[in-house]
Amino acid sequence: MIAIKNINPPPATPHPHSRLGSREDFRTIGEAVVANPKIRCRHVDVFYGPKQAIFDVSLDIGNKEVIAMIGPSGCGKSTFLRCLNRMNDTIEGCRVSGDITLDGQNIYDEKQDVVPLRAQVGIVFQKPNPFPKSIWDNVAYGPKIHGLAETKSELEGIVETSLQKAGLWEEVKDRLHQPGTGLSGGQQQRLCIARTIAVSPEVILMDEPCSALDPIATAKIEDLIDELRTQYSIAIVTHSMQQAARVSQRTAYFHLGYLIEVGQTQQIFTTPRHRLTEDYITGRFG
Amino acid sequence: MGKHLQKELEKIKKQILSLGAMVEDRVRMAGQAIERTDAQLAARIVETDWEIDEVEVEIEEDCLKILALHQPVAVDLRFLISVIKINNDLERIADEAMNIAERVISIAKRQDPGYRFDYVTMFTKTEQMLKRSLDALVNLDVDLSFKIVMLDDEVDAMHRQAYQRTCDEMGRRPDAIKYLLNYYLISRHLERIADHATNIAEEVIYLIEGEIVRHGKY
């Protein structure tokens, strides 16, 4: 599927009695690079004021793949995710350096307008945050401001397809003009996904999209992610290891702002190559 | 949750090692039974095989419980999968010890035609392989595991020798075929024990390296 080669240096001297790298070695192990990346990140550092939150992270997000980012709280996975559509621009004192390109275009270029960028690279947050408007307006808002529909019927078409893709259409088609906030948590989250899809993104970022949902709503979102991956590249930050294992093809493990290991999800969860990854996913951490 | 799982895994480790010790004991008894053609000792092996079966089932159930309740990953997952397979191998080794015992009982009933094949060397090698495979499991020793896999060839060679000699002997004494057959089958059972010990060593390699080395992939 994705040809992979390793750009990161091999780990320092391994522990004499183990095949795993030492806990003190923070250099990335694994396949950080893919052949045709959608998003390509090289040597990314992020600072909040004087404090550095991300250290020299190089990672590709492949075309039409789901990549999961895992790691303990404060490891920088959300910070890194937010770099990918410049959400960090809204945080005062936050500075990003290094290269991040989307289809070869530097997204931190001075000429880059963040409004179309955030349509191309949409984001879904931890807590569902529908606008205090009707279900229809929630989905139609993006296409309207981005000028994606010329006629009312076109707009209706976009709203319907987006809701269908988000697996919500059947549940809401009879009450499109009721407030979005009146839906259940899981439905609200799918509404937010529909809102993201409505502006024809290429990449969808998800920041713990299921942590406020029950197992059934979670399963629905996970099924949805699996369907969406045929059309979009998806990067998902999750605290649930099982979720990362279920939905992603590649997994990246972050620790104290460093990208420690990245590889095929199956490999990460059966034979991680870094001691820190193993400590974290097996619950031996700390 | 991490600590809870670790405790459960420690418990499983103790259980599998204690099963290993029980099985080793039985194999040692089978060796003595062969050496002395001791039908009484052989009968004791046959009668107590249920003890092994019981522990085997208990270990498997505990492994399934941990898989269902903790969904372990990485080294913990590999450990449990290895234990499930090693558990099975140990139970089969005990079965082979019982098979040997049954052969010894048959042999003891018949008149000895004066034919002897030296099983001491073959038995010692096999027993050593089993002991070392359990050592490899206790100490998570990859190097030792690879050595055991190599030792298997020697036991196989001895098995072929036993086959050839038995064939020759059958030609000379057609009247003693039943006796010789039973006598030869001991070699077959020993060879199977060595195979299961090899499997255990390969599981230990998988547990540590995460690589499946069965079917000659090394």
All residues of chain A having their beta carbon less than 8 Å from the beta carbon of residue B72 are 282
Mean pLDDT for the stretch of residues A24-28: 86
Of A19, A282, A285, the CB nearest to B73: A282
Of A19, A281, A282, the CB nearest to B209: A19
Domains of chain B: which residue ranges?
2-209
Q: How far is the alpha carbon of B132 from chain A, nearest alpha carbon, in Å?
A: 19
Assigned CATH topology for domain B2-209: Methane Monooxygenase Hydroxylase; Chain G, domain 1 (1.20.58)
Prediction ipTM score = 0.76
Give percent of chain B above pLDDT 70: 98
Q: B73 and A269 in contact by Cβ < 8 A? A: yes
The size of the A-B interface in CB pairs under 8 A is 38
Q: What is the pLDDT of residue A1?
A: 42
Express as a percent the part of chain B with pLDDT over 90.
Answer: 82
Average pLDDT, whole number, for chain B? 92
In this model, does residue A19 exceed pLDDT 70?
no
- Do A188 and A128 meet the contact criterion of CB atoms below 8 Å apart? yes
Q: What's the pTM?
A: 0.82
Q: Which residue of B has its CA nearest to A17?
A: B141
Which is more confidently placed, B129 or B1? B129
pLDDT at res. B215: 74
pLDDT confidence of residue B103? 94
What is the pLDDT, as a whole number, of residue A38?
96
Domain ranges for chain A: 25-129+200-281
CATH class of A25-129+200-281: alpha beta
Of A242, A270, A272, the CB nearest to B71: A242
Both tokens of A21, joined, read 């790298």
Overall average pLDDT of the B49-70 stretch: 95
In the beta sheet, which residues pair with residue A263?
A251
Contact A285 B2 (CB under 8 A): yes
pLDDT at B194 over 50: yes
Is B76 in Cβ contact with A270 (below 8 Å)?
A: no
Window A:258-277, CB contacts with B under 8 Å: 269-272, 277
Tens digits of per-residue pLDDT, A219-278? 989 999 999 999 999 999 999 999 999 999 999 999 999 999 999 999 999 999 999 999
How far off is chain A from B196, nearest CA to CA, in Å?
24
Dist. CA A184–CA A186, nearest whole Å? 6
Mean pLDDT of chain A: 90
Inform me whether the pLDDT recorded for A7 exceeds 70: no
pLDDT at A17: 39
How far B15 CA lies from chain A's nearest CA (Å)? Answer: 21
Of A19, A281, A285, the CB nearest to B74: A281
**B-chain residue closest to A266, CA distance:** B74
Closest CA to A228 of A255, A209, A215, A251: A209
Residues B49 and A69: their CA atoms lie apart, in Å, by 50
The predicted-structure confidence for B75-90, as pLDDT tens digits, reads as follows 999 999 999 999 999 9
Minimum distance, in Å, between the CA of residue A107 and any CA atom of chain B: 37
Tens-digit pLDDT profile for residues A158-203: 999 999 999 999 999 999 999 999 999 999 999 999 999 999 999 9
Q: Span A132-154, mean pLDDT?
A: 93
Q: Residue A188 contacts by C-beta under 8 Å, 6 or more apart in sequence?
A: A128, A130, A180, A181
pLDDT of residue A98: 95
DSSP secondary structure code for residue A29 in this structure: E
Per CB-CB distance under 8 Å, the chain A contacts of B71 are 242
Contact B33/B27 with Cβ under 8 angstroms?
no
DSSP state of A259: E
pLDDT digits over A91-138, tens only?
999 999 999 999 999 999 999 999 999 999 999 999 999 999 999 999
